Amino acid sequence: MSFGGLFMTGVRRTASQRRMLLAAALLLAGISGSMVLYQGLQQAEQQAQARYIENMARYMKADMLGNLQEQINALQRMSVRLAHYGFEGDSGWRVNADLYLSHYSYYEALAVLDRDLRVSRVRNRHQPLVQRDALFPVGAIPTGTLDAVNRGARLGVTQPFQLSDQRPAVTFLTPIGDGQAHFGYLAAVLVIPEAVDAMIPAMFRDEIVLRVEGRGEPLFGSAASSGDGAQPSWDASFTVDVDGDGEGFLFNFAVSDALRSQLTTGLPEVVLGSGIVVSLLLAAIALLGMNAVGQARVLTASNRRLEQEVGERQAAERELAFLVHNDALTGIPNRAGITLYLEDVIRDQGGGETQLALLFLDLDQFKDINDSLGHQLGDELLCEVPQRLKGVLKERDFVGRHGGDEFLIAVERDNRQQVEQLAGNILRSMDSGFAIGEHRLFVSASIGIAYYPESGHTVSELIQNADTALFKAKNAGRNQFAVFTREMFAQAQHRLNLSRDIRHALEREEFRVVYQPIINLRNLSLCGVEALLRWQHEKGYMVPPQEFIRVAEETGIIGRLGAFVLDQALADLAAWSKLPGKLPWLAVNVSGAQIQEHSFAEQLSVLLHQYRIDPQLLHLEITEEILIENLMRNRRMLHRLDEIGMRIVVDDFGVGYSSLSYLKNFPISVVKIDRGFIRDLSFDPEDQAITRTICSLASDLGMLTVAEGVESVDQLHLLRNYRCSFAQGFLFSRPVEADSVAAMIGEPRQWREIAEAVEAGSGLV
Stretch that binds Ca ion, among 28-36, 291-299, 383-391, 586-594 (CB under 5 A): 586-594
Amino acid at 44: A
| 589 touches Ca ion by CB under 5 A | yes
Q: How far is the CB of 732 from ligand C2E (least distance, A)?
A: 8
Nearer residue to Ca ion within complex by CB, 572 or 652 = 652
Q: How far is the CB of 652 from ligand C2E (least distance, A)?
A: 6
Q: How far is the CB of 514 from ligand C2E (least distance, A)?
A: 8
Q: How far is the CB of 619 from ligand C2E (least distance, A)?
A: 12
Nearer residue to Ca ion within complex by CB, 48 or 690 = 690
Stretch that binds ligand C2E, among 213-221, 485-493, 607-615, 723-731 (CB under 6 A): 723-731
Stretch that binds ligand C2E, among 87-95, 236-244, 609-617, 707-715 (CB under 6 A): 707-715
Task: Identify residues 433-472 at the interface with Ca ion (CB under 5 A).
Answer: none
| Residue 559, C-beta contacts closer than 8 angstroms, at least 6 positions apart | 593, 594, 597
Nearer residue to ligand C2E within complex by CB, 125 or 675 = 675
Q: What is the dihedral of CA 137, 138, 143, 146, to 10 degrees?
A: 110
Nearer residue to ligand C2E within complex by CB, 358 or 531 = 531
Nearer residue to Ca ion within complex by CB, 244 or 656 = 656
Q: How far is the CB of 638 from ligand C2E (least distance, A)?
A: 16
DSSP 140: G
Closest CA to 161 of 171, 150, 169, 151: 169
- Residue 598 to residues 112, 310, 312, 594, 631: CA-CA distances in angstroms? 19, 48, 45, 9, 15
Q: How far is the CB of 744 from ligand C2E (least distance, A)?
A: 16
The half-sphere exposure of 115 on its side-chain side, counting CA atoms within 13 A, is 11
* CB-based burial label for 286 (10 Å; 0-12, 13-18, 19+): exposed
Among 330, 591, 715, 725, binds ligand C2E (CB under 6 A): 591
Provide the angle, in degrees to the nearest 10, between the axes of the packed helices 366-373 and 375-392. 140
- Please check whether residue 671 is in contact with residue 702, taking contact to mean a CB–CB distance below 8 angstroms: no
What is the C-alpha to C-alpha distance for residues 493 and 467, in angstroms, rounded to an integer? 13
411 binds, among Ca ion, ligand C2E, none (CB under 5 to 8 A by kind): none
Amino acid at 409: I
Could you please report the per-residue DSSP string of 434-490? EEETTEEE---EEEEEEEETTT-SSHHHHHHHHHHHHHHHHHTTSSSEEE--HHHHH
Among 240, 565, 706, 738, binds ligand C2E (CB under 6 A): 565
| 397 touches ligand C2E by CB under 6 A | no
Stretch that binds ligand C2E, among 101-109, 200-208, 390-398, 728-736 (CB under 6 A): 728-736
Total interface residues for ligand C2E by CB under 6 A: 25
Nearer residue to ligand C2E within complex by CB, 41 or 649 = 649
Residue number with the smallest Cβ distance to ligand C2E:
729
Stretch that binds ligand C2E, among 148-156, 473-481, 703-711, 744-752 (CB under 6 A): 703-711
Among 465, 735, 738, 758, binds ligand C2E (CB under 6 A): 735
- Please check whether residue 758 is in contact with residue 724, taking contact to mean a CB–CB distance below 8 angstroms: no
Stretch that binds ligand C2E, among 52-60, 102-110, 708-716, 741-749 (CB under 6 A): 708-716
Q: Which helix (H) or strand (E) holds 72?
A: helix 2-85
| Residue 181, C-beta contacts closer than 8 angstroms, at least 6 positions apart | 83, 556
- What are the φ and ψ backbone dihedral angles of 296, each rounded to 5 degrees? -60, -35
> Which 3 state secondary structure label does DSSP give 407?
strand
| 404 touches ligand C2E by CB under 6 A | no
Q: How far is the CB of 675 from ligand C2E (least distance, A)?
A: 6
Query: What mask, x for binding ligand C2E by CB under 6 A, covers residues 539 to 558?
Result: -----xxx--x---------
- Residue 554 to residues 106, 116, 550: CA-CA distances in angstroms? 39, 18, 6
Nearer residue to ligand C2E within complex by CB, 405 or 621 = 621
Among 711, 712, 737, 748, binds ligand C2E (CB under 6 A): 711
Amino acid at 585: W
| 624 touches Ca ion by CB under 5 A | no
Q: Contacts from 719-725 at CB under 8 Å and sequence distance 24+?
A: 719/521, 719/678, 719/681, 719/691, 719/695, 720/521, 720/758, 721/765, 722/691, 722/692, 722/695, 722/696, 723/695, 723/696, 723/699, 724/521, 724/673, 724/691, 724/695, 725/520, 725/521, 725/670, 725/699
Closest CA to 389 of 408, 376, 373, 402: 408
| 597 touches ligand C2E by CB under 6 A | no
Closest CA to 141 of 154, 124, 160: 160
Q: How far is the CB of 700 from ligand C2E (least distance, A)?
A: 25
Q: How far is the CB of 622 from Ca ion (least distance, A)?
A: 9
Closest CA to 168 of 216, 219, 132: 219
| 589 touches ligand C2E by CB under 6 A | yes
Task: Identify residues 415-434 at the interface with ligand C2E (CB under 6 A).
Answer: none
Q: How far is the CB of 499 from ligand C2E (least distance, A)?
A: 15
DSSP 333: B
240: β partners: 249
| 285 touches ligand C2E by CB under 6 A | no
Stretch that binds ligand C2E, among 130-138, 239-247, 309-317, 729-737 (CB under 6 A): 729-737
| 709 touches ligand C2E by CB under 6 A | yes
Among 380, 405, 651, 687, binds Ca ion (CB under 5 A): 651
- What are the φ and ψ backbone dihedral angles of 497, each rounded to 5 degrees? -60, -45
Where do contacts with ligand C2E occur on this chain (CB under 6 A)? 516, 531-533, 544-546, 549, 562, 565, 589-591, 621, 651-652, 675, 708-711, 728-730, 735
Where do contacts with Ca ion occur on this chain (CB under 5 A)? 589, 621, 651-652
